[in-house]
Amino acid sequence: MSKITFLGAGSTVFAKNVLGDSMQVPALQGFEIALFDINPERLKDSEQMLNNLKATSGSSCIIKAYSDRKEALRGAKYVVNAIQVGGYDPCTITDFEIPKKYGLRQTIADTIGIGGIFRNLRTIPVMLDFAKDIREVCPDALFMNYTNPMAVLTNVMNTYGGVKTVGLCHSVQACVPHLFRALEMDDTGVQWKIAGINHMAWLLEVTKDGKDLYPEIKKRAAEKQNEKHHDMVRYEMMLRFGYYITESSEHNAEYHPYFIKRNYPELIDRFNIPLDEYPRRCIRQIEKWAKMREELVNDKSLEHCRSHEYASHIMEAIETDKPYKIGGNVMNTGLITNLPKEACVEVPCLVDASGVTPTYVGDLPPQCAALNRTNINTQLLTIEAALTGKKDHIYHAALLDPHTSAELSMDDIVAMCDELIEAHGDWLPKFS
């Protein structure tokens, strides 16, 4: 029996999407769906929810929850990862509140920046534990990572974990449909090409019947910058640097030194930047869970429509040898020629029975590559900190972060990192 293992299965809504999708794929019928989570209550909820879906869909997949991670992984052909180490309380709160004391504000804090650095530092050891188990009990498995910070964790699993890994993010497949809806343009028949790094990949080409649509996109975007909307940062970046970015404006506001600035507080209003957005989302999700739980877990007639998530399509393409195109996060084996070879990049990939095959992109536009490199610097130094256990590399990662270094002095950055290390306590390994 083939097996799909889902790590972080207590993420019930996401498990519904990925595994509900999988149960609808003819080529995946009869697979065991193995669930693992460190929260037994949430694990049980997801097991019950998926059994409800199994009944309504007529799937022959076998749903099984595990309390032993290694046994959940044993013999798996595919592994889906959706963990969050430390959760909202205490770790996300810490990631936001301590930097705020120093005058450093964030929006999402899950990619780079101070929040991204510390999320990585507490997640990398857990991921390397996963890798150790995978090498032992399912060494040929394809590891599909959905956990942020995407670029760093996917890099670590491939480079240091010895696990065949592709990172999957929603932002690539949502990019063009979102942009065209917002600009009231029809995306029927539109072709596009996207490449860069996760959360900062670039819409390099967008055409219809061979016609470049960028002039019309930029014209409409410029007109909309005179009114408040939720994508003002991305439009501004496109108008200044020439290309639209895959991830949302609230994310990109904290990836650059231009938007969240203490000395220019009017920029927050001008670009409609939602400071502290992620903690608010966490609170809303916690408050909504009681109702959502009733709807998801206890509804015997629960149904599911296949989502836009890549995971089930990847597994289907491998099982059937019918090619499928994704935007995947993979190591830069000469794929983007003006980004570092040590980086994890987001590029078009072909999936078939031979697995995930990335495609060659070549040079990005020089200004786009330059912006990517500012984020890659912090990513690679965060990995260095995690693998060496040296506190200095945490400082280096923070000192080179575009937003942090634009706002704080060197002394304040070091002091803030020290305070964050102490506050995280046992959520972090020991650094010297």
Catalytic residues: 170
Answer whether 119's CB lies under 8 Å from 93's CB. no
169 is in an annotated binding site: yes
Distance in angstroms (rounded) separating the CA atoms of residues 46 and 215: 47
148 marked as part of a ligand binding site: yes
| Other Cβ atoms closer than 10 A to 33 | 26
Around Cβ 422, how many Cβ atoms within 10 Å?
Answer: 10
Pairing of strands 355-358, 344-352: antiparallel
CB atoms within 10 A of CB 333: 10
At residue 141's C-alpha, the angle toward residues 135 and 143, to 5°, is: 95
Residue linked to tokens 């390994």: 429
Q: Which of 339, 332, 403, 335 lies closest to 373, judged by CA?
A: 339
String of DSSP letters for 78-138:
EEEE---SSIIIIIIHHHHHHHHHTT---S--SSSHHHHHHHHHHHHHHHHHHHHHHHHH-
Q: Which residues, other chains included, contact 119 with Cβ-Cβ below 8 Å and sequence gap of 6+? A: 85, 86, 91, 95, 109, 110, 148, 149
Percent helix / strand / coil, the chain, rounded to 5? 50, 15, 35
Measured CA angle at 289 (ends 309, 42), to 5 deg: 75
Contact criterion met (CB below 8 Å) for 130 and 138: no
Question: What is d(CA 87, CA 83) in angstroms, rounded to the nearest whole number?
Answer: 9
308 assigned ligand-binding residue: no
Nearest C-alpha neighbor of 64 from the set 85, 35, 38, 84? 35
Please state, as a whole number, how many other Cβ atoms lie within 10 Å of the Cβ of residue 71: 15
Give φ, ψ of 350 to 5 degrees.
-100, 135
Binding site feature residues for substrate = 148
Binding site feature residues = 148, 169, 199
